[in-house]
Amino acid sequence: MSGLGKGIFSSSLAKMLQDKGLAIAPIKLEGYLNIDSGTLNPYRHGEVFVLEDGTECDMDLGTYERMLDQNLSRQNFATSGQIYTEILERERRGDYLGRDVQMIPHVTGEVKYRLRKLAMTGGPDGGLADVIFVEVGGTVGDYENSFYIEALRELAFEEGPQSTCFVALTYILEPTILGEQKSKAAQLGIKRLMEAGIQPHIIGCRAHNPVTLTVRQKISMFSNVPLNRVFSMHDRESIYTIPEAMRAEGLDREVLSILNLHGRVDTQHEDRARQRWTDFASKIRTRPRKHQISLGILGKYAALRDAYASVDKAIEHSSTHLSADVDARWIDTSDVDSSNVQELLGNVDAVIVPGGFGERGVEGKIACVQYVRTHRIPYLGLCLGLQVAVIEYARNVLGLRTANSTEFEHHAEHPVICELPEQRRIEGMGGTMRLGAQDVLVEPNTLLSFLFESQRLIRERFRHRYEVNPAYVERLASAGLRFSGRHPKHAIMQVIELPPDIHPYFIAGQFHPELTSRPLRPQPMFMGLIAAAIARTNPQFVGESISPRWLRPQPSAPKRNGPKSPPKVISHTGR
């Protein structure tokens, strides 16, 4: 079945090989005909993850980036729509010289070409990769991904022995009425894979509880996979503890043997990388933690956590480093207004308004922003979270009661948020969406500057159509709203905040800071929010020390324009 965690298994395995000094290049092969994930409903497919180059892709790419601390690009993501489009365009150009175009060899050949090209250019700085990790979306037996599986069978045959390691992820049933685990469904699923010509080398068994030895023995016998390569991937408190569990089972050594890579291992690099990761994982397991806070997350897809997967992980990164237990309250703002906002937010220590599109739930978010602003509750706005904060400020501080965004009211009397055609030309994106990494110029002596340790230029990822209307910037600024992050060359406002004498922690970015948060380098705006929430409940937190190494890239990590050390502390008075 789908949704078992192929990306988590694959990225955890990739993390272990990367720790050994190997260059890793992951790729997700999706079966749907969409060209990318940009138009997919979050309820159907989870969040849309945006890469540095603006590629809108599957949320599993976010798992790879976070686990590997590695920026990916469009060559790390492919859909059936991309594959078919490329082949049909070639056919129209006459590139096939009159041949009939077929699934084999042309479609499977395109898949193999992309994988081989990734091996040549997908490593660090565009160089060679030692190992590519190929994740096939969907399930074995789906019509839409059958050509991917056939292409991988062909590739393994062409490259020869010790070139490929196949991993099958299956589900172990545990019906509550029986009280025991059942493996027959898993056996039949693996049999389906073997019928397609692929013999798995490793099997990951997903289950709620640890998979019993008896079940693993059955899976081993009926799949021709040695018992020590049948791994129990049961539920854990965090995905970041899985690499350690795999290492304890010796899966990394098995992969090295299958691919004949023992001779390429850098043991000193592995020791350093393992120690850093082990330190982080031990903090995840530490209970109880030093601080307890409650956090309200106000979205329109609150019923589906995958819709905000990166937000969830960014919170986990920061709260782990700050030793905070977070009671995350996911609140659907569709039915929120001024009459019930206090009931929902009266006892939270901080609030996040994540991104989104469409009018549903927006007025509820505006009511919530007014409440947290006037009650001095720490606030972090992400993309749409900035826009609703500007609308709220214009309505309730400037007195422009009809202020709105042209996304929600096309002929708004006061369009403080709007889509500007000249900005589309400036960005040169060829469409109405600003996508991918953009530079942000940081104003000195601001909260944003403090969080990023006085850097003048930071780089974050954007995915939006609407901007703060430049015609209202001066009026908003004169009323106390500070624009602390801007486009380096043009009048595009990218970060707003309130001064510390007005609010202890109120900041919002037009970008998505959650997309660049990593386990060992948590994003500064999230670190600041969690720290401000702790300070709200425990003013003594002001005196605590935060290690600067958390936000510093380690010697083995890819270069990144971003913070070199964390914020020292956010007090209840602002800094």
Active-site positions read 383, 512, 514
d(CA 31, CA 2): 12
**Helix (H/G/I), strand (E/B), else coil: 327:** strand
Q: How far is CA 19 from CA 15, 192, 249, 269, 280, in A?
A: 6, 34, 16, 7, 15
Residues 6+ apart with CB under 8 A from 26: 10, 11, 14, 61, 64, 68, 72, 76, 132, 133, 134, 135
- Taking each helix axis as running N to C, give the angle between helix 6-19 and helix 267-285, from 0 to 180 degrees, rounded to the nearest 10: 130
Q: Tokens 């890239």 correspond to what residue?
A: 553
Tokens of 369: 């922003």
Query: How many whole angstroms from its chain centre is CA 301?
Result: 16
Instruction: With beta carbons less than 8 A apart as the criterion, state whether 486 and 470 touch.
Output: no
SS3 of 452-487: the string is CCCCCEEEEEEEECCEECHHHHHHHHHCCCEEEEEC
Containing H/E element for 49? Answer: strand 49-50
Q: Tokens 């990734």 correspond to what residue?
A: 118
Pick left, alpha or beta for residue 26 (phi over 0 → left; psi -120 to 50 → alpha; otherwise beta): beta
d(CA 258, CA 166): 10
Number of neighbours of residue 546 by Cβ within 10 angstroms: 16
Instruction: With beta carbons less than 8 A apart as the criterion, state whether 67 and 15 touch.
Output: yes
Tokens of 99: 């041949």
Q: How many CA atoms lie within 13 A of 20 on its CB side?
A: 19
Instruction: With beta carbons less than 8 A apart as the criterion, state whether 49 and 11 touch.
Output: no
